Amino acid sequence: MNRERKIQKKEITLKGIPTSPGIAIGKTLLFGRKMLIPDQKNIEIDQVEAELERIGTALERTQRNIEKTRDKATKELGEIVGRIFESHLLILEDEILLDEARAKIRSKLVSADFAYYSVMKKTYDSLLAQKKDYFRERADDIRDVGMRILMNLSGETDKYEFQTDEPVIVVARIITPSEIVHINRELLLGVVTDLGGETSHTAILTRALEVPAVVGLKKISLLAQSTEISVVNGNSGKVILNPTPHHQEIYRQKQKRYLQFYTQLADLNGLPAETTDGHRVKLMANIELPVEVETAQNHSAEGIGLFRTEYLYLVNNQFPSEEEQFIEYKRLAEKMAPNPVTIRTFDLGGDKAPAGLEIGREANPFMGLRAIRISLARPELFKTQIRAILRASAFGNIRLMFPLVTGMDELRKIKRVFREVKNGLIDEGVAFKPDIQIGIMIEVPSAVIMAPELAKEVDFFSIGTNDLIQFTLAADRGNEMVAHLFQDLHPAILRMVKMTVNAGHNQGIEVGMCGEMAGDPLATVILLGLGLDQMSVSPLALPEVRKIVRSISFTEAEKFAEFMLTKKTYKESIREAEKMMKEKFADLPIWFTTQNNESLTKDI
């Protein structure tokens, strides 16, 4: 008797960009509608007006469709997410695209759908070919809007149907914001795409939905097959297709521990981040969207340590007005009151290159015109943002923070602009918090060296380790060839943190950290012992950081930090940190598994 044997297909492991945390295990669903490619259809001269009218009618229908999607997104996910579709309406109104399509109809005597497709495809391909992620990601929006117009031109129904009746992990070459919004959230386990980056609208949406997501996997849509099992680790960026039964079990256990651990830590909600001998640190949240405030509050954040305001720009593809910014900052301050909200001015440039600023091509944009340098180069934009933040400060406990400050000259220029804006509001009789605190991010080596002088000029420091590490160690964390050199526990980084803390405390100001290192469990005890007053982390990392702080004495943490400052190599540092965690925190199953003794977030 012949029996059919189930043969394990080859397991494939890919590494992409994690954009939304969590672990998902389940059946795969290949998703995404193909771009409509109309045939070239020639028309007669007397049909031109009719084809032009067809475009007008399709635009009106598409506008109504986008407005419905916008309203759905706003209702379910908040106004900031809804504004993604405001940017789609702006694309719809782009006269350059429309005029070129109309001209093509008149000059080439082709149908409206072929004319619009040709123009839209040219723009899409041009954006996709750009080196900067920002422009490639905006190509997604062009494609989204273009598909809707082409459907309306062809007479097809502009609907987004999710063909499944069971929970799935969606795999696609690209998935548009409109598609994400219309997927049944109860059936969406995770999202995986070939294309995309951290600042894409799809990434924003998956974070808002709290769905594990990994993007930038290049060819996963060609390798995956519907109904097969996949694993998505939105913490590490690893995706496994056809995992072996052994790996499936490991990940199910990881997922189980992940969920159990957070359930257990719920008992700590509302309790302060206080060591066993009574030393307190402030535990804050980093957020990118106001919708994340609820998650931060659910995990008992003591405030917002970093609100990344550049997303106000990225969802609109243009700089928001003073009033638009004021409304968002005010709402955020009111939601968190009386807890503090630290608003960072725009950190655009680098991987978030803004259109319309005419920066020009830069060989190394991360070390080019970005962050505070853009603000000082465009004082009208800088003043508008400061005005909005100051006005909002009348409605809550707002603090103002400036990124990528390199030294005293820069800081004094910033303060001159700040005083000018304050004096203008006073003259106009506009209310604001007169004693609003201002601070700077310490994220370049020069700022660490100048910290004793800088500390005399500000109310607080916040260490931004993402840039500090890559600039100190000359290791671009986005470059796969040197990513292994991006080491948060490198002895030089630990010593720089200590230097910054000492400089701030000598002047009586608070020193915090809002970089990713603050959320690394291997670093928590060390940072505590180095004397940080505040740690600001992803909302989902709050419970475990709180647990670690509450499980050790400050005396022990100080002693261990002093010991770590004597280490001479990264290997020594990481070995000692892992040894300490295994000895002191064996009850934290989220970080260490009996299988590999490796972090759940760092992966197997």
Active site members? 201, 514
Helices (H), 301-449: 310-314, 322-336, 372-377, 379-392, 408-428, 445-449
Q: 């290192």: which residue's tokens?
A: 517
Interhelix angle for 133-154 vs 112-128, to 10°? 170
In this structure, the strands spanning 213-215 and 510-513 are unpaired
Element (H, E) at 240: strand 238-241
The reply to whether omega before 340 is within 30° of 0 (cis) is no
Rg (the chain; Cα; Å): 26
CA distance 115 to 390: 48
Q: Tell me, what amino acid is at 351?
A: D
Query: DSSP of 278-319, one letter per residue?
Result: S-EEEEEEEESSGGGHHHHHHTT-SSEEEEETHHHHHTTTSP
Q: Tell me, what amino acid is at 74?
A: T
Element (H, E) at 510: strand 510-513
CA distance 551 to 153: 63
What is the DSSP-derived secondary structure letter of residue 196?
A: -
Task: Give residues with Cβ within 8 angstroms of 181, minimum separation 6.
Answer: 69, 72, 73, 76, 77, 160, 205
List the structure tokens of 3: 């029996």
Length of the chain: 604
CA distance 348 to 133: 12
**At 27, is the secondary structure helix, strand, or coil?**
strand
Laid out side by side, the sheet with 229-233 consists of 12-15, 238-241, 229-233, 23-30, 168-172, 188-193, 213-215, 17-20
User: Taking the chain, what is the end-to-end CA distance rounded to the nearest angstrom?
Assistant: 41
Task: Give residues with Cβ within 8 angstroms of 51, minimum separation 6.
Answer: 43, 105, 111, 112, 115
CA distance 245 to 9: 11
Q: Tell me, what amino acid is at 593?
A: T
List the structure tokens of 34: 């193909």
User: What distances in angstroms separate CA 313 from CA 67, 71, 134, 281, one per listed residue?
Assistant: 20, 20, 12, 33
